[in-house]
Chain A
């Protein structure tokens, strides 16, 4: 099943149709080869799989429950809405699924120095947690603009023993943090492991991170079959880089009656610079080592993005999503800042669950979709993270 993309296109590993690939400086070709080799070896090694499963169960808190949001369902009036509760994981988001997998891999590869990038800080926190638990040193690059927006996560990373490097270049957000992490890797390539946080970047990251996140969909598919006796009509997840969405989509790729919806950040509007929706508003291009959809101007300069949710604030997107969109297997839509805030309030008040602003985008679209479906249908939403980190931003908006 993992082979969906590759088998449909007959293309080589690391390519999803024409997307993906390895568009990186020559110095990174050798470490990427070594990483691919190590990943191929350990991902098939029963003892590695068992060790990782142990960490996921006892440290991260897997499996996560599937929750029928009955109040929300009644409120909307339509299909039943189920939430996959990744917000209940250690650290408060799905990010830990990937950081434990990669940190364990780094350790097997004999790398002691881990670097990572972070936008909202969730991946940085999850990296710091995994590294502390596994006895590895973590250094996290974070745009100085994001450090201002997400102060709490900066403190959390520091308390977990990670070093946080402020990034002052470019737009001082996630894309620049990735640039800086890549520059660090080129410089310290021999002893350093780059722990990328989403299904982006050069091969093998989009495949490897997807595999580590696909545990979400594997559990959810079983759980909804058990709860409902049938598959959902639709699966909905937010898309920044696209790791939580690919993680839940992947187990449903061959269930062609299940519609897959990726929700991008519509921000203020779909005008240039006012959103973070490369699949809806961008064009094909190359960024951070991958061929994918990129928000860019006519001359190919990468545009600044805008979203209330720092975790979706990225001008590129995982190459497998670009492929799924072009194949027509998944549909990509947008939800605005305003709509995401409304969904945050609705879910908090009706269900007693505060979603991350990222996940609130998925909730918002699921509410729209549920209305258009029959009451016998169901929708599965990936609640990828919890909203505690966003309380300050939300309070500011509610006050306005």
Chain B
């Protein structure tokens, strides 16, 4: 059973070393359970600070082609929410990093809020992101998550009004997930200046009460260092990692090598320059 508030403790620890958090995302069970465990281990060895695992869903409306394809791969291998939580349990029993689950709302509802979150807690899950559950619809979910000591991580978008931002910052636990662009998940060549502006705005509204992590389109070490230098407490990298799996489906050991190397370079970029 994990300790409480491990996510915020992780941010505090990194902060004292002048580092941002590197949050890595993989879709659970992609491309199969065994390879997913090996790939996750490679991420942790490469230096991931927080490990985010997606529950694959048939209709992922917030995701671009890379993560859609990974969800389909996992589902075609028979992935279920229960099965993915079981895989997280294996990982969390071997590693001290905090775990975050990302799931669309329907698979959670299908299992039942209490059953899902009980099982998640037993599996070592510290936080949860539900991309299609905005704050207006999440009272019941938030209460059940609080009861099980799982941090309910809300999202903010570039067009979230200041009033809403205050609510979302107030209700979020663990960290706030800042969507840094208009669009779905997926690798991008460059990071827009607006993304960095958004980081600064949200950071100043948060007044140090809750860490801010930026995600969506963060796909190169330069993007990571840019958001961290702009004040973000963490950077979330997903599609850039999932893409490696999709590109080398016939060579699992190459995937592990590349994932580890890539994560090392991302992690390096989370260290604040002293200049």
Contact in complex: A30, B137 (CB < 8 Å):
no
Interfacial chain B residues near A301, Cβ < 8 Å: 57-58, 75, 107
Tell me the residues in window 184-199 of chain A with beta carbons closer than 8 Å to chain B beta carbons.
Answer: 186-190
The contact of B106 among A29, A182, A296, by CB within 8 Å, is A296
Contact in complex: B137, A22 (CB < 8 Å):
yes
DSSP class of A's interface residues: helix, strand, loop or mixed? Answer: mixed
Q: Is B110 an interface residue (CB 8 A)?
A: yes
**A255-263, A281-289, A379-387: which lies at the B interface?**
A281-289
Contact in complex: B110, A289 (CB < 8 Å):
no
Interfacial chain B residues near A21, Cβ < 8 Å: 136-137
Interfacial chain B residues near A302, Cβ < 8 Å: 58-59, 106
Contact in complex: B110, A23 (CB < 8 Å):
no
Interfacial chain A residues near B72, Cβ < 8 Å: 170
Contact in complex: B182, A25 (CB < 8 Å):
no
Contact in complex: A29, B110 (CB < 8 Å):
no
Q: Is A375 an interface residue (CB 8 A)?
A: no
A183–B80 CA distance with the chains assembled, in angstroms: 24
Contact in complex: B110, A285 (CB < 8 Å):
yes
Q: Is A26 an interface residue (CB 8 A)?
A: yes
The contact of A299 among B110, B133, B134, by CB within 8 Å, is B110
A287–B59 CA distance with the chains assembled, in angstroms: 8
Q: Is A294 an interface residue (CB 8 A)?
A: yes
Q: Is A349 an interface residue (CB 8 A)?
A: no
Q: Is B81 an interface residue (CB 8 A)?
A: yes
Q: Is B159 an interface residue (CB 8 A)?
A: yes
Q: Is B86 an interface residue (CB 8 A)?
A: no
Known A-B contacts A287-B59, A289-B132, A299-B81; the reply to A27 vs B109 at CB < 8 A is no
Flag A14-51 by CB within 8 Å of B: 1 or 0 each: 00000001111111011100000000000000000000
**CB nearest neighbor in A for B138:** A23
Flag B112-147 by CB within 8 Å of A: 1 or 0 each: 000000000000000000011110110000000000
Q: Is B183 an interface residue (CB 8 A)?
A: yes
Tell me the residues in window 154-171 of chain B with beta carbons closer than 8 Å to chain A beta carbons.
Answer: 154-161, 164, 168
Flag B71-115 by CB within 8 Å of A: 1 or 0 each: 010010000111000000000000000000000111111110000
Tell me the residues in window 271-320 of chain A with beta carbons closer than 8 Å to chain B beta carbons.
Answer: 283-289, 294, 296, 298-302
A301–B168 CA distance with the chains assembled, in angstroms: 28
Contact in complex: B159, A189 (CB < 8 Å):
yes
Interfacial chain A residues near B82, Cβ < 8 Å: 299
The contact of B132 among A24, A30, A183, by CB within 8 Å, is A24
**B46-54, B60-68, B203-211, B230-238: which lies at the A interface?**
B60-68
The contact of B157 among A26, A175, A285, by CB within 8 Å, is A26
How many chain A residues touch the partner (CB < 8 A)?
36
The contact of B160 among A30, A169, A298, by CB within 8 Å, is A30
Interfacial chain B residues near A300, Cβ < 8 Å: 57, 81, 106-111
Q: Is B184 an interface residue (CB 8 A)?
A: yes
Contact in complex: A26, B160 (CB < 8 Å):
yes
Contact in complex: B137, A23 (CB < 8 Å):
yes
Q: How far is the CB of B196 from chain A (nearest CB, A)?
A: 18
Q: How far is the CB of B263 from chain A (nearest CB, A)?
A: 26
A187–B184 CA distance with the chains assembled, in angstroms: 7
Q: Is A179 an interface residue (CB 8 A)?
A: yes
Q: How far is the CB of B86 from chain A (nearest CB, A)?
A: 13
Contact in complex: B183, A187 (CB < 8 Å):
yes
Interfacial chain A residues near B75, Cβ < 8 Å: 301
A169–B82 CA distance with the chains assembled, in angstroms: 25
Q: Is B218 an interface residue (CB 8 A)?
A: no
A333–B5 CA distance with the chains assembled, in angstroms: 50
**CB nearest neighbor in B for A12:** B136
A284–B113 CA distance with the chains assembled, in angstroms: 13
**What are 12 A-B pairs at a CB distance below 8 A?**
A22-B136, A22-B137, A25-B131, A25-B179, A26-B134, A27-B157, A285-B110, A289-B132, A296-B106, A299-B81, A300-B108, A300-B110
Known A23-B133, A25-B62, A25-B134; further 15 A-B contacts with Cβ < 8 A: A21-B136, A23-B105, A25-B131, A25-B157, A25-B179, A30-B160, A175-B59, A176-B59, A183-B62, A186-B184, A189-B159, A285-B106, A286-B105, A299-B81, A299-B107
Closest 8 CB pairs of A and B: A300-B110, A300-B107, A27-B157, A187-B183, A30-B159, A26-B157, A26-B155, A301-B58
